[in-house]
A and B are shown apart, each in its own frame.
Chain A
């Protein structure tokens, strides 16, 4: 079976972000960009399914600027067979990405789409669910275990008070949680091999998808700053401050 894995290029998770002085967004010029960490887990899972003989082909897809090709190369170095870049300069929201992915799914006919549960830039946690809805496929979000058997996906989800196991009829959409796996390191020989793998380029226009949105970001601001930390020399002082100053115990 075929697995499709959408991946997103985001500001690296170790970067301390800066807000643009005009409040229009977060500075992304000259900032280290990487594959969204949850998407790395999604790719790793697809590759493991292929290594287990369940999947036959893995296609990585990314929507965004030309530079998103870099993370498609990373996906192919991890083990994706080929990739698709949906090139656009437009700022995409989850609804638009889901519309694009729906077109790709209709064309490629995968049995399973594995996404990250959320991107660490917009923290939306929507795209997988929206795609599943548009395709009228079942979904499982925040998945920490995945087994494919007899045309079904047996998935364990991380939920607020523990874990839940569901059975999904394939085709299906699942989104990866942190605990699904530990992504492998990309080795230099695999990076070299990935350069030879094919990247097909298309655009929302070519796919006939509108990326318009009726959601507008009016401004982006710093969160309210906390007052500076007061270091205390011993537990007696700490308890006295918590009782008399902060009045929390």
Chain B
């Protein structure tokens, strides 16, 4: 029996999350198949055929799959699901939307955001905003899993390509349709895979002041993040939010500036290798989560830090 990984892509190229998910799949067993479902996604399938550890790529190419609508994506996965022992997708916004639909139709449980594969049927996952780790065993015949990508290294790229097999695309459900989207394009590295992340909170004070956070990030070649308070205050768009309800990051270095450190925020950063907190309140809970802390006014400390990095 084989393992199916759902590739995440934008119809042009694979998203990084796919590579991490393949690594998690390889810990569950061998013979990994990658499903590339999309529209005019041949280039994605070619890229997928060169992911190390993958033995076959299945491509479903149709207009109905262009925007990865969960109604259609779930049907596409279900059309081939019976041949697999495990079905994995990254725990991204589309993976989270589709996989429970797949599990329910198979009448199996779904295990969300696994952070460790203990054996082919036993997994670890965080609960209560990362304040507890549950070890979960599945006796379901098909294990449906989403993968916390920051917990697994990306699979390598290889020079040789495995076969790409075209499979029939399912018909459009007719129940939902795509209208539009707005993406916040940035020249900085992608938040969830950046090596360094600099985040600002409510303490930053204003959208203009957030420029300071961006300058520090640019100095370090880092991605910019934010706490929920900074997003709600309108300093930055919501896709920069880090935490239980935003993005989960695990960079080598996370710098929290003017962030108090609510448990929901810490849930999104606690697996970072090194955490630095800059805050004027010495009692801020962020210092309990940090490796290095400095107390003071961010308007003085951040420019000093930028200058010190020259």
Interface residues of A (CB under 8 A from B): 11, 13, 16-17, 19, 26, 93-95, 98, 117-118, 120-134, 137-142, 144, 154, 157-169, 172, 177-179, 213-223, 226-227, 229-236, 238-239, 241-242, 246, 248-249
Contact = CB atoms under 8 A, between A and B. Distances in A.
A110 B263 CA distance: 36
Contacts of A221: 132-133, 135
Interface in B175-200: 175-184, 192, 196
Given A138-B173, A235-B308, A248-B196, A220 B293 contact: no
Nearest to A13: B264
Contacts, number: 245
A233 B130 CA distance: 31
Contacts of A127: 100
Nearest to A214: B139
Interface string B210-238: 00000000001000000010001000011
B253 A249 contact: yes
B132 A232 contact: no
Nearest to A93: B109
B130 to A, nearest CB: 6
B8 to A, nearest CB: 9
Most buried by A among B220, B291, B308, B309: B291
Nearest to B109: A215
B74 interface: yes
Nearest to A117: B245
Nearest to B122: A218
Report the interface size class on chain B. Answer: 35 or more
B172 to A, nearest CB: 12
Nearest to A234: B294
B132 A129 contact: no
B100 A17 contact: no
B136 interface: yes
B132 A161 contact: no
30 contacts: A13-B264, A16-B263, A93-B109, A94-B100, A95-B108, A118-B245, A120-B244, A123-B128, A123-B129, A125-B96, A129-B96, A130-B104, A133-B100, A158-B239, A164-B178, A165-B178, A167-B179, A168-B175, A214-B138, A214-B140, A220-B127, A220-B132, A222-B132, A222-B133, A223-B132, A231-B292, A232-B292, A232-B293, A235-B308, A248-B273
Interface of B: 67, 69-71, 74, 92-94, 96-105, 107-113, 122, 126-140, 173-184, 192, 196, 220, 228, 232, 237-239, 244-245, 247, 252-253, 263-264, 270, 273-277, 287-295, 301, 304-305, 308-309
Contacts of B67: 164
Given A167-B177, A229-B277, A248-B252, A219 B292 contact: no
Given A215-B140, A238-B305, A139 B97 contact: yes
Contacts of B291: 226-227, 229-230, 246
A120 B243 CA distance: 12
Nearest to B270: A223
Contacts of A227: 291
B5 to A, nearest CB: 18
B175 A158 contact: no
B181 A164 contact: yes
